[in-house]
Amino acid sequence: MIQPVILSGGSGTRLWPLSREQMPKQFLRLTSPQSLLQQTLARLDGINALPAMVIGHHRHRFLMAEQLREIDAAARLILEPEGRNTAPAIACAALLACQSGDDPLLLVLPADHVIGDVAAFQHSVDKAVPLAEQGYLVTFGVVPTHPETGYGYIASGEPLGGGYHLKAFIEKPDAERAAQLVKNGDTLWNSGMFLLRASTYLAELQRLQPAMGDACARAVSGAHRDLDFLRLGEDAFCQCPADSIDYAVMEHCQHAAVVPLAAQWSDIGSFDALRAAATPDANGNVSHGDVWLTETQDSLVMAESRLVATLGIKDLVVVETADSVLVAHRDQAQQVKHLVASLGQAGRREVDEAPRVHRPWGSFQAMDAGARYQVKRITVKPGGRLSLQRHHHRAEHWVVVSGTARVTVEERCYLVSENQSTYIPIGALHRLENPGKIPLELIEVQSGTYLGEDDIERFDDAYERNSDE
């Protein structure tokens, strides 16, 4: 039996400002109405597999749960207290998969890839199964379509069943080296996808990285349930060495194989990759949102919250969000992560915070702010309820735009309908709920001496969150 393992812990910094620490690219709808995570789960349809394990950072747990709910996907949600790269995440999945006495094949898939030809992907998985059953750790190598400096490469060796012996991993090359690798014809792009027997991987990890294997075993042993999630043991997992499966295991494994994959694959790892995944117009442009292009060629232009107009540009990336604008030359697309690092060092909140902040009950977005006031648009999904809370430094005015709100203020509970409003004084115990069947939309005007999100004292919370979540 195949046990899918979806790795959902990446941050996607090369796609800033679309992708943020709070809203990384696997949760974005970049190439279809479904997010990349949802597309990854959907392409398992047709594979004889167990319900997937989705492994991600604990701060994204409600995003993961909500996106699975949207597509009615059954999956186990495994939470990491912090990112330790792919080798420990896969080890914990393997240990959990073996707890019932089974020893499945793990189909390890990053949550943030695009695959255009699902049938070809599933065919490659079928070809990898006999190799994995024979004890090989199998990776999938993408058949190159052009020289690419943004991907690592895999050198294939002698034929082996439906694949090849894995000869070597090759680091991301420069342009000249990439052209030569593609010309040679025996190298493939490193996809970061794997099929491997759980016990075989654990044995190799224990042989090659015993400290990592021991830490993962302790983290799984110390795991505990939290609502619909399984939290790995925090102390043990945080003490685990951080490394990728490539460096920790695959490069040193005696029984590694690679199966070619020709399935219109992309890791959407840069804005150039995002542009390549779409169909350009007659001038080579790819655009999204309220965009007006004049004398513009071979560019990617994206607008999220307002009109973006271009005039007389070529080979540029222009990305607008509610709080940030990126303008870059296309040949610098791989360097966006360095820009993000410098912004992070400067303490800019835009690196971490997304314009729309998601919560288990819905979401909110800041609309305006100034001295002693802030305006937000709040959406509460049907059945959603905020915590019973109070603020020590701000009052709040709520105006309902659509739907009906159930409001609790101290001992009083009442309904507020469309075009009605209510007031929450400083220090008053209060709660907001959506008792209806449609989303509740309201405008919140905050006023006070301090308006930070940490000015929340919670008394009851259905989602068992910390004060800053």
β-pair partners for 334: none
- Phi first, then psi, for residue 188 (nearest 5°) are -130, 155
User: Do 324 and 394 sit in the same domain of this protein?
Assistant: no
**Pair 376, 341 in one domain:** no
CB neighbours of 401 closer than 8 A, spacing ≥ 6?
418, 441, 442, 443
Residue 41 near residue 71 (C-beta atoms within 8 A): yes
Two structure tokens written together for 442: 């309201």
Q: Is residue 271 part of a domain?
A: no
Q: Pick the last residue of a domain from 325, 345, 365.
A: 345
Q: Among 414, 405, 355, which Cα is nearest to 382's?
A: 405
In angstroms, the CA 229 to CA 78 distance is 6
Q: Is residue 278 part of a domain?
A: no
My answer on whether 258 and 292 are in the same domain is: no
- Are residues 325 and 412 part of one domain? no
pLDDT of residue 254: 87
Residue 220, in any domain of the structure: yes
SS (H, E, C) 123-138: HHHHHHHHHHHCCCEE
Once rounded to an integer, what is the mean pLDDT over residues 169-193? 93
Distance (Å, whole) CA 314 – CA 301: 11
Mean pLDDT taken over the chain: 95
Instruction: Please list the helix, strand and coil fractions of the chain in percent, rounded to the nearest 5, in that order.
Output: 25, 35, 40
Domain assignment of residue 380, given as a range: 356-460
CATH number (domain holding residue 406)? 2.60.120.10
In a domain, 431, yes or no: yes
Q: What is the pLDDT of residue 465?
A: 82
Same domain, yes or no, for 197 and 319? no
The residue-averaged pLDDT of 416-423 equals 97
Pairing of strands 187-197, 137-142: antiparallel
Which of 318, 345, 372 terminates a domain? The answer is 345
> In terms of domains, do 50 and 130 share one?
yes
For the chain, the distance separating the N- and C-terminal CA atoms, rounded to the nearest angstrom, is 38
Segment 278-305 mean pLDDT: 97
308, amino acid identity: V
> Which of 302, 322, 345 delimits the end of a domain?
345
What sign for the dihedral angle of Cα 193, 196, 198, 200?
negative
**Does 273 map to a domain?**
no
> What total of structural domains would you count in the chain?
3
Condensed to tens digits (0 to 9), the pLDDT of residues 349-394 reads: 999 989 998 999 999 999 999 999 999 999 999 999 999 999 999 9
CATH number at residue 78: 3.90.550.10
State yes or no: pLDDT of 301 exceeds 70.
yes
Tokens for 46, please give them.
């047709």
318 shares a domain with 186: no
Per-residue model confidence as pLDDT tens digits over 430-442: 999 999 999 999 9
More confident residue, 33 or 453: 33
Q: Quick one: 206 and 300 in the same domain?
A: no
The pLDDT assigned to 467 comes to: 59
454 in a domain, yes or no? Answer: yes
* Cis status, amide bond into 280, omega within 30 of 0: no
Q: Are 369 and 324 found together in one domain?
A: no
Cβ proximity of 193 and 110 under 8 Å: yes
Question: Are 237 and 363 in a shared domain?
Answer: no
Residues 209 and 173 in one domain: yes
pLDDT at 464 (0 to 100): 83
| 236 found inside a domain | yes
Q: Is the pLDDT of residue 285 over 60?
A: yes
pLDDT (mean) for 60-83? 94
128 with 62, same domain: the answer is yes
How far apart (Å, rounded) are the C-alpha atoms in residues 255 and 87? 17
Q: Rounded to an integer, what distance in angstroms lies between the CA atom of residue 296 and that of residue 83?
A: 40
Q: What does the angle CA 54 – CA 57 – CA 63 come to, to the nearest 5 degrees? A: 70
Residue 468 — very low, low, confident or very high, per pLDDT cuts 50/70/90? low
Does 466 reside within a domain?
no
